[in-house]
Amino acid sequence: MAPQIKYTKLFIDNEWVDSQSGKTFDTYNPHDGSVIASVAEGDKADVDLAVAAAKRAFHRNSEWRLLDASQRVKILNKFADLVTRDAQYIAELESLNNGMVMRMAQTLIASSDDHIRYIASLADKIQGSTIPVDGDMFAYTLKQPVGVCGLILPWNAPALMYLHKITTALSAGCTVVVKPAEQTPLTALYLTALLVEAGLPKGVINVVNGYGETAGVALTHHPDVAKISFTGSHEVGKLIQQAAGANNLKRVTLELGGKSPLVIMDDADLNVAVPVAAAGVFSNQGQICIAASRLYVHSKIYDKFIAAAIEHAKRIKVGDPREPTTMQGPQIDKGMMEKVLGYIEKGKQEGAKLVTGGKRIGTSGYYLEPTIFVDVKDDMTIAKEEIFGPVQSILKFDTLEEVIDRANATEFGLAAGIFTNDVNNALQFTKHVESGVVWVNTYLGTSIQAPFGGFKGSGLGRERGMDCVEHYLEVKTVAMAVAKKF
Ligand code: NAP
Ligand code: MG
């Protein structure tokens, strides 16, 4: 049975409200394209109200600003308890709205208990330092929350992105206005209700569902927003940085996906490398920012690897995400499905060899076959642009030196990986590859304790890890003259 939908409005100043315009938009189930619910559609007028509420909640005398940091830890830990209490429901809601296979949704929601507690634990460890400045002075730093933050979410892992961004901003002591992706507002709304149940004071969190071009633009241009944290496309990331500079010089954290290289050396254990490389690009229907979408395979093992990769891809069970044996669900929507099919056409036209998949499955929902191209060349579109679908592109190489340069010849730099049993190959590759995370003999696993973010066009700043709250803080230097009494 489909999970009951409990929240569809905007959340502003502690109230569930309709939008000022009264407009709504439908949110869909990617499994069959059916409407799940109508959701309030916010735009500039609602963003203005939400930012005003968040600004009041950030006033120096507000309940939130007067709260001890240790109390922020308690509220966020209570939130973790509530997410765990409702984990099954949240996973079902995520799967319904996003098409994520249930097993993955359950794993992600289960892991978020640790994630929230880790980020919460940082709240009362935000500390400055005392500094031996010149002269008879006492100097120290204060680290203070930056202010009202706009958090703009993607649709590919909506609950997880919400949890990471919101808990980090709140741990730092900021107040927030959230804009969920238009395709996937439902888990963001439910999680907001849990934060309120956990005791978050009025106005600290506000949620404005709506479109990027209206609500998103209003948030990124708002003069009272001090910071934007965004996960999504490279193109919109650039627009956000421009908007940030247009008036009040907002701080920005950007996580913008990539075109991540995974290198298979000739000494790699193919029993591990083949399934891990497949998981690296087919998981979540390929809708993953760290997708291993350029797979470089050494010429000595190229044919053997391809045969095993095809066999593996053919065994991936595509279907209803609610079924426990399903490994790949539907793409998020018709537009994304067509975009991926467009890349597949482009791959064929530009001379890459399609060896399995390549087509839509059925006519209901947005299902695609796991697809593999071989003999892909670095200058082909499918080797350069983020496809965000279940398409593995395999490229041949001869030497490590050559493949490092080819791996780096991209505007992106989010993730990379190498399979090898030679420690020197691993050391050379990890040192020289330009990416925010690099895996050796594994791929895809991330942890809350380790920083996450991109080099080059893949983003700015880092999420997760001990320093994640720093991106939501300002550093203030206090310098006091020491009076000469003796
Ligand atoms: P997107 O447009 O970048 O959307 C991400 C978020 O930004 C959504 O909430 C979106 O609102 C909002 N947005 C859009 N335009 C905006 C603007 N001008 N100002 C402020 N906010 C704005 O991504 P998409 O269109 O959903 O997906 C397109 C491509 O982005 C994918 O094919 C994939 O390559 C990439 N992508 C990457 C990630 C990642 O994890 N790095 C995640 C999602 C998508 P709407 O809901 O109205 O779009
Ligand atoms: Mg969009």
d(CA 322, CA 138): 62
Residue at which a domain ends, from 235, 256, 277: 256
Q: Is 147 helix (H, G, I), strand (E, B) or coil?
A: coil
Q: Give the pLDDT score at 99.
A: 98
CA distance 461 to 211: 25
What pLDDT sits at residue 486? Answer: 74
Nearest CA to ligand 1 atom 44: 232
Q: Considering the domain boundaries, does residue 285 fall inside one?
A: yes
- Pair (111, 248) in one structural domain: yes
Crossing angle of helices 69-85 and 87-98, in 10° steps, is 70
Alpha helices in 198-293 (DSSP H): 217-221, 234-246, 270-282
Q: Are residues 71 and 207 in the same domain?
A: yes
Look at ligand 1, atom 38, and give the residue with the nearest C-alpha: 232
Q: Is 287 in the pocket of ligand 1 (CB under 6 A)?
A: no
CA 409 to chain centre: 24
CB 72 within 8 A of CB 195: no
How far is 78 from 282, CA to CA, in rounded Å?
Answer: 35
Cα(157)–Cα(184) distance, integer angstroms: 9
- State residue 104 phi and psi, 5-degree precision: -70, -45
The verdict on residue 349 lying in a domain is yes
Ligand having the closest approach to the CA of 180: 1
Position 254 pLDDT exceeds 90: yes
Beta strand spans in 269-401 (E): 294-298, 353-356, 360-361, 367-368, 371-374, 391-397
Q: Which residues contact 480 (CB under 8 A, 6 or more apart)?
A: 137, 138, 139
Does 40 reside within a domain? yes
Same domain, yes or no, for 265 and 246? no
Domain assignment present for residue 1? The answer is no
Say whether both 103 and 183 belong to one domain.
yes
Closest ligand 1 atom number to CA of residue 414: 41
Continuous segment of H or E residues that includes residue 58: none
For ligand 1, pick from 236, 260, 444 the residue to mutate: most ligand atoms within 8 Å of CB: 236
Residue 282 is predicted with a pLDDT of 98
> How far away, in angstroms, is 233 Cα from ligand 2 center?
8
How far is it, in rounded angstroms, from Cα 50 to Cα 15?
A: 11
CATH code of the domain containing 115: 3.40.605.10
**Beta carbon of 41 within 6 Å of any ligand 1 atom:** no
Percent of the chain beyond pLDDT 70? 100
pLDDT band per the 50, 70, 90 thresholds, residue 484? confident
**Longest CA–CA separation in the chain, Å:** 88
Distance 93 CA to ligand 1 centre (A): 21
**Residues 2-22: tens digit of each pLDDT:** 899 999 999 999 999 999 999
Ligand 1 atom with minimal separation from the 152 CA: 9
Q: Do residues 373 and 235 share a domain?
A: no
- Of all ligands present, the nearest one to the C-alpha of 343 is 1
φ and ψ of 341, to 5 deg: -60, -35
| Stretch 11-38: mean pLDDT | 98
Question: Whose C-alpha lies nearest to ligand 1, atom 37?
Answer: 232
Q: Give me the pLDDT at residue 485, please.
A: 78
Boundary (domain end) residue, out of 224, 256, 288: 256
Decide which of 256, 282, 315 is a domain's last residue. 256
Q: Is the CB of 284 under 6 A from ligand 1?
A: no
**If you take atom 48 of ligand 1, which residue's CA is the nearest one?**
212
pLDDT at 444: 97
The response to whether residue 257 sits with its C-beta less than 6 Å from ligand 1 reads: yes
Predicted confidence band at 247 (pLDDT cuts at 50, 70, 90)? confident
Q: DSSP characters for 394-434?
A: EEEES-HHHHHHHHH-SS--SEEEEE-S-HHHHHHHHHH--
* Residues 250 and 272 placed together within one structural domain of the fold: no
The domain in which residue 351 lies consists of 261-447
CATH number at residue 432: 3.40.309.10
**341 and 358 in one domain?**
yes
Q: What would the mean pLDDT of 323-347 be, rounded to a whole number?
A: 97
- For residue 482, being part of any structural domain is answered with no
Q: Which of 149, 174, 289, 468 is catalytic?
A: 289
Which of 182, 255, 369, 463 is flagged as catalytic?
255
Determine whether the shortest distance from the Cβ of 239 to ligand 1 is under 6 A: yes
Q: What is the pLDDT of residue 126?
A: 98
CB distance 241 to ligand 1 below 6 Å:
no
DSSP run (H or E) holding 39: strand 34-40
The 10 Å CB-count burial string (b at 16+, else e) for 253-272 is: bbbbbbbbbbbbbbebebee
Q: CA torsion, points 240, 241, 242, 243, in degrees to nearest 10?
A: 50
- The rounded distance, in Å, linking the Cα atoms of 418 and 404 is 10
Tell me, using a 6 A CB cutoff, whether residue 225 lines ligand 1: no
- Look up 289 and say whether it is catalytic: yes
Confidence grade of residue 437 (pLDDT, cut at 50, 70, 90):
very high
DSSP states along 216-229: IHHHHH-TT--EEE
Question: How much distance in Å is there from the Cα of 230 to the middle of ligand 1?
Answer: 9
The burial of 22, by beta-carbon neighbours within 10 Å (0-12 exposed, 13-18 middle, 19 or more buried), is given as: exposed
Average pLDDT of the residues in 151-170: 98
Ligand number nearest to the C-alpha of 391: 1
Looking at residue 468, its pLDDT comes to 97
Nearest atom in ligand 1 to 161's CA: 40
Predicted pLDDT at 427: 98
> What residue owns the CA closest to ligand 1's atom 16?
212
pLDDT digits (tens, 9 = 90+) for 52-110: 999 999 999 999 999 999 999 999 999 999 999 999 999 999 999 999 999 999 999 99
Using DSSP's 3-state secondary structure scheme, residue 340 falls into: helix
- Residue 152 and residue 21 share a domain: yes
Residue 179 is assigned to a structural domain of this protein: yes
- In the prediction, which pLDDT does 110 show? 97
Ligand having the closest approach to the CA of 43? 1
Number of domains in the chain: 2
What is the pLDDT at residue 248? 93
Ligand 1 close to Cβ of residue 293 (< 6 A): no
Q: Answer yes or no: is 456 within a domain.
A: no
371 and 300 together in one domain: yes
- Same-domain status, 244 and 315: no
Nearest residue to 54 (alpha-carbon basis) of 197, 174, 208: 174
Confidence (pLDDT) at 1? 79
CA separation, residue 26 to residues 29, 123, 328 (Å) = 10, 37, 24
Task: Report which of 374, 396, 440, 376 is spatially closest to residue 301, judged by C-alpha positions.
Answer: 396
The length of the chain is 486
Which of 214, 233, 332 most suits a substitution to test ligand 1, by most atoms within 8 Å of the C-beta? 233
User: Do 229 and 345 belong together in one domain?
Assistant: no
- The percentage of the chain sitting over the pLDDT mark of 90, rounded to a whole number, equals 98
In a domain, 146, yes or no: yes
Q: Which pLDDT score, from 0 to 100, does residue 14 have?
A: 98
Residues 277 and 324 occupy one common structural domain = yes
Measure the CA angle with vertex 248, ends 242 and 249; round to 5°.
50
| 148-152 and 175-179 beta bridge pairing | parallel
